[in-house]
Structure 1
Amino acid sequence: MLERTAPERFDTLPDIPEPSENPILVGHQRVADMLAGAYRAGKLHHGLLFAGPPGIGKATLAFHLANHLFSHPQAESAPARFSAPDPKGQAFRLIAQDAHPSLLHLTRPFVERDKKFKTVITVDEIRRIQRFLSLTPHDGGYRVVIVDPADDLNVSAANALLKSLEEPPPRTVFILIAHSPGRLLPTIRSRCQIVRLQPLDAPDLAGLLRQFGAAEAGSDEEIAARAQGSVRNAILLSQFGGAEIADVLQKLVTGRSFDAAEALRLGEAVSGRDRDVQFSIFNRAVLDMINRHAAARAEAGDTRGAAAAADLWDEINTAIRDAETFNLDRKQHAAGIAAKLNAAFNA
């Protein structure tokens, strides 16, 4: 059983450490070395956009970079590589507890009144940046702002963040985590150095699963193929019924004749009490399926089909957020989306 020190987030999984409390960085050594070298040379960009699929370690890398900056405030004497954070060290413990005075981690806020997390990062969260940056650094070192993920910024929050990125104070680094960087404001992307992270390879993914006690039967190659190089996907597939949900959804969407009864059974499986993770798995599987469909259309030269898929992604993403915000019937939500995708993919 994990002894959690980090606050619970909107995407927390039971017994899986948060990125802020994970001392192990796997699969991104080249990028980590590039960042360490840039910092040592005094060339670290003030705005970093870590882009890549969900669950591959983007946020973990962000916290490791923050730990590196806090541990070595003088860039010229910093080591050329990240050293493994000391879980017993003060900086690591403060970062894990969301209590480090030089770090601001912005994500979907928890609403005490409603007892649930918001579906977006609001402008009120982004306004915390100005208050944070108005304070004098406690040790004269770097300050780090992590937006996780920037995909969740609403329009007002994105515009407010842009203002902070335009005129950053000295010795301040913004790290934006983005699963779909193309959906961010172009003006935000233009003010950041885009750092693309790749999915984990099979051995790295299998090793992390064993570390988390979530190893899945089958070869490393099978795990990586199914999870698309994402340890989060692998955990959801093997521990929370994600494989079954994805398989049923695939059959419903690709079938020539839509099975309404099976769609309702799927809706029942991802709704009800203690089914928040399963509901999230379903919604993520839907969006990923549309992404793959759009990519396939674009690769085939069907620009109209790719554009239609992009519009469908926006429509479904709005429906997902409405279902979460207004507590709509999840069973009908899932069945209705399955029907819509079946009609769109078989048109």
Structure 2
Amino acid sequence: MSRAPKVAVEDRPEPDRVTGAPHPRETLTLIGHHKAEAAFLDAYSAGKLHHGWMITGPLGLGKATLAWKIARFLLATPQDDGGMFASAPPEALDIPADHLVSHRLMALSEPRLFLLRRAWDDTARKLKSMITVDEVRKMKNYFALSAADGGRRVAIIDSVDEMNTAAANALLKLLEEPPPNVTLLLISHQPSKLLPTIRSRCRELRLAPLGAEDMATALAVTGDAPEDPVPLAELSGGSVGEAIRIMNLDGLKLYAGLVSLFATLPRLDRSRALALAEIGAGRGNEEKFDLLLMLIDLFLARLARAGTLGYCPPEAAKGEAELIARLSPNPADARHWADLAQGLANRARRGRAVNLDPASLLMDMVLQIDQTAGMLAQR
């Protein structure tokens, strides 16, 4: 039997690219993270450039964009020899798009940069699910070679969360004994799950969620600026990557449909509930099914938070504030919604593990939400 032809490099998906968005190396402007940029620049200007930097925050905030911006800056900025004719300290991390380093990074041809990410599996014809120890060894071998110009080198690890145990241990050894003139930029979406020894050997740059104004500016760069950025900022948790996913899957309309459906609680409109559940059913609708699960969980979390804190967040859909105020008017009711959210999340995980019919799972979740609303209305 003949083997299937190998997938050409240019046709392979990139594991660190958000669908529908430019790759982080293609984005020269970073929106809303001035504090993190300033913290790195201050350390650089003070001569206290750490060998390991961990850039943290939820998925899609711009961590990879910052990592590429730092790499571009380090590789394009001449090292200061401390002489009397040394140039003034840089005031920003910005490097022009027409700089040679920018061109080489864009083409992934910069010899002083090592990009560590999930590799392509030619046998399975898909990306590997984890970063393996073999990939970390390639990076260590790369650093064992002398730089062509004897200057600085940079590695971007996107993301360190995707390393298996052996790969994480190999990275730890590299952090414990870093090669000279090497800066490691580790991207982590969930740093609490990493080895404490890895975290302790890095300086952290924590990125905060974007507000609505910064969200609009960031999305404008991708060509997808919304008319009203507030709902997207609320539903995405301030993550540009998540906002793009929501827009690509018509998530604003889906969430508005959920709010409209839940407005009928505790007398659920079952025909509308069935229609909503069918959206996530069938082959090819897996992404919308996942999004619906996320939006239901988010709605319940917003109910719990509003009842506990005593005020509603900015509306993510028309009529949401009134609905939240009615369903979760006090901390006691908020506790019920929080417990339900946890229970439904566990049920969703079990249902997906046994390949439960998506429409049935969604319908069951909606019915349990209706049952809880009815119970609270009778108190």
* Same-fold call, TM cutoff 0.5: yes
Partner in structure 2 of residue 48 of structure 1: 53
Q: How has the CA–CA distance of structure 1 residues 336 and 279 changed in structure 2, closer, same or farther, with 3 Å as cutoff?
A: closer
**Which of 191, 195, 198 is the aligned partner of 1:181?**
191
Distance 2:131 2:15 in 1: 11
* 1:73-104 deviation digits (Å, cap 9, x = unpaired): 31454733334322222211211222211111
Cα shift at 1:67: 0.8
Paired residues of 1:122 and 1:153 also in contact (CA < 8 A): yes
- The one-character-per-residue Cα deviations of 1:154-184 (angstroms, maximum 9, x if unpaired) are 2222122111111111111111111111111
In structure 2, distance between residues paired with 1:313 and 1:156: 31
Aligned residue for 2:124?
114
Distance 1:139 1:67 in 2: 16
Taking a change above 3 Å as real, the CA distance of residues 201 and 263 of structure 1, as seen in their structure-2 partners, is closer
Query: Secondary structure at the residue paired with 2:55?
Result: strand
Query: Which of these two proteins has the greater Rg computed from alpha carbons?
Result: 2
TM-score normalised over the length of structure 1: 0.75
For residues 200-242 of structure 1, give each alpha carbon's deviation from its aligned partner in whole angstroms, at most 9, with x where no partner exists.
Answer: 2222210121221212232x43332232211112212222223
Query: 2:323 — aligned with what?
Result: none
Aligned partners of 2:73 and 2:94 also within 8 Å = no
Distance in 1 (CA, whole Å) between partners of 2:140 and 2:182 is 12
Query: Are 2:283 and 1:272 equivalent residues in the alignment?
Result: yes
| Gap regions ≥5 residues in structure 1 | 301-305, 323-327
User: Are 1:233 and 2:238 matched, yes or no?
Assistant: no
Say which of 46, 57, 64 aligns to 1:59. 64
1:150 to 140, 160, 178: 160
Change (3 A) 1:113 1:203: same
Contact (CA 8 Å) 1:54, 1:232: kept in 2 or not?
Answer: yes
Counterpart secondary structure, 1:138: coil
1:14–1:178 Cα change, 3 Å: closer
Contact kept? 2:231, 2:252, Cα under 8 Å? no
The partner residue of 1:87 within 87, 97, 104 is 97
Shift of 1:267: 3.6
Match of 2:230 in 1: 221
Q: Is 1:130 aligned to 2:130, yes or no?
A: no
Aligned to 2:23: 18
Identity %: 34
- Matching of residue 30 in structure 1 with residue 35 in structure 2: yes
Partners of 2:347 and 2:213 lie apart in 1 by 37
Q: Give the one of 179, 185, 198 matched to 1:169.
A: 179
Q: Which amino acid aligns with 2:278?
A: R
Unaligned runs of at least 5 residues, structure 2: 1-9, 310-330, 332-337, 373-379
Instruction: Indicate conservation of the 8 Å contact 1:6/1:20, yes or no.
Output: no
Structure 2 vs 1, CA of residues 130 and 91 (structure 1 numbering), >3 Å: closer, same or farther? same
Note if 1:160 corresponds to 2:170: yes
**Aligned-partner SS, 1:94:** helix
Matching residue of 1:191? 201
Name 2:5's counterpart in structure 1: none
Residue type of the alignment partner of 2:95: P
Q: What is residue 243 of structure 1 aligned with on the other side?
A: 252
Counterparts of 1:126 and 1:287, CA distance in 2: 36
The whole-number CA distance in structure 1 between the counterparts of 2:297 and 2:122 is 29
Given the superposition, is the C-alpha separation of residues 170 and 24 from structure 1 closer, same or farther in structure 2, using an over 3 Å criterion? same
C-alpha displacement of 1:310: 9.9
CA distance, structure 2, for counterparts of residue 191 and residue 79 of structure 1: 26
Normalising by the residue count of structure 2, what TM-score does the alignment of the two structures yield? 0.69
- Contact 1:126–1:157 (Cα < 8 Å) also in 2: yes
2:113 is matched with 103
Q: Separation in 2 of the partners of 1:314 and 1:47?
A: 36
Residue 142 and residue 281 in structure 1: after superposition, are their counterparts in 2 closer, same or farther (change >3 A)? farther
| Helix, strand or coil at the partner of 2:185 | strand
Give the stretch that moved more between structures: 80-89 or 283-292: 283-292
2-structure distance, mates of 1:9, 1:18: 9
- The letter of the residue matching 2:238 is G
Counterpart-to-counterpart distance in 1, 2:196 and 2:300: 22
Give the root-mean-square deviation of aligned CA atoms.
4.3
Q: Contact 2:118–2:129 at 8 Å: present in 1 too? A: yes
Task: Tell me how far apart the structure 2 counterparts of residues 42 and 33 of structure 1 sit (CA, whole Å).
Answer: 14
